[in-house]
């Protein structure tokens, strides 16, 4: 395990250890899942494991206000993007992540209650903006909100810039991306707490957009 993956794994372990409401069995399962995900995902800030860690923290903040099963939420969040780097052209990363989740749980003989497994898979399938999934459970709603919130605010601006650099586009493409997708995300929130945080982060982005328009003479 390289140094960055080691740091990410240690950060996750500290996060899990702080969740005192988890049972010993739940902690062991989540630690095992976390080790798997850290190895499968890349380490970039855009869609790699650092993104998962941020979504975990946001999700926990939402769960404290909105409720829901903490074990299901954490497990779903850990695995929600695990298939992103393995997604076929004719599929979605949410579908691939759900597929890899089922395979991992089965191959490691992690036997969960049927309803728990169904809620985990549903959360993973429903979180994707591009797949237009519909969240039905509180855990899936929190994961969907937390995932989208990570695309907003100061972190969202950084991620938008990373995305354009990665795809070789440019500043104007990022500017259009704000209006085509990012500024629309607050209306996609399921929970009141998610909407509140999203609106706060949008405020940060609007300040940046205003400065960008001034400097580029776009208005």
Same fold flag, 3-134 and 153-216: no
Residue spans per domain, the chain: 3-134, 153-216
Per-residue pLDDT tens over the stretch 51-95: 999 999 999 999 999 999 999 999 999 999 999 999 888 889 999
Indicate whether 1 pLDDT > 60. no
CA 66 to chain centre: 17
Indicate whether 103 pLDDT > 60. yes
CA 85 to chain centre: 15
Architecture of domain 3-134 in CATH? Orthogonal Bundle (1.10)
> Comparing 46-50, 56-60, 69-73, 129-133, which segment has the lowest mean pLDDT?
129-133
Model pLDDT, residue 118 = 96
Give the chain's length. Answer: 219
Query: Residue 30's closest CA among 127, 120, 150?
Result: 120
- 3-class SS of residue 8: helix
3-state helix, strand, coil in the chain (%, to 5): 75, 0, 25
Architecture of domain 153-216 in CATH? Up-down Bundle (1.20)
């Amino acid at each position: 395990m390289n140094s960055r993956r080691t740091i990410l794994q240690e950060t996750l372990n500290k996060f899990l250890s702080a969740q005192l409401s988890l049972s010993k069995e739940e902690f062991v399962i989540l630690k095992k899942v976390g080790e798997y995900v850290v190895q499968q995902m890349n380490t970039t800030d855009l869609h790699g494991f650092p993104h998962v860690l941020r979504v975990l923290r946001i999700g926990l903040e939402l769960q404290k206000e909105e409720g829901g099963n903490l074990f299901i939420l954490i497990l779903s969040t850990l695995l929600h993007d695990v298939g992103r780097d393995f997604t076929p052209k004719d599929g979605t990363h949410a579908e691939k992540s759900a597929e890899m989740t089922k395979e991992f749980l089965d191959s490691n003989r992690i036997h969960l209650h049927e309803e728990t497994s169904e809620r985990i898979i549903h959360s993973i399938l429903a979180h994707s903006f591009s797949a237009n999934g519909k969240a039905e459970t509180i855990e899936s709603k929190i994961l969907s909100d937390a995932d989208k919130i990570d695309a907003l605010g100061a972190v969202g601006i950084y991620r938008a810039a990373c995305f354009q650099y990665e795809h070789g586009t440019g500043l104007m493409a990022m500017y259009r991306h704000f209006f085509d997708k990012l500024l629309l995300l607050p209306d996609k929130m399921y929970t009141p707490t998610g909407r509140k945080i999203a609106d706060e982060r949008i405020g940060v982005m609007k300040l940046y957009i205003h400065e960008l328009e001034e400097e580029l003479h776009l208005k």
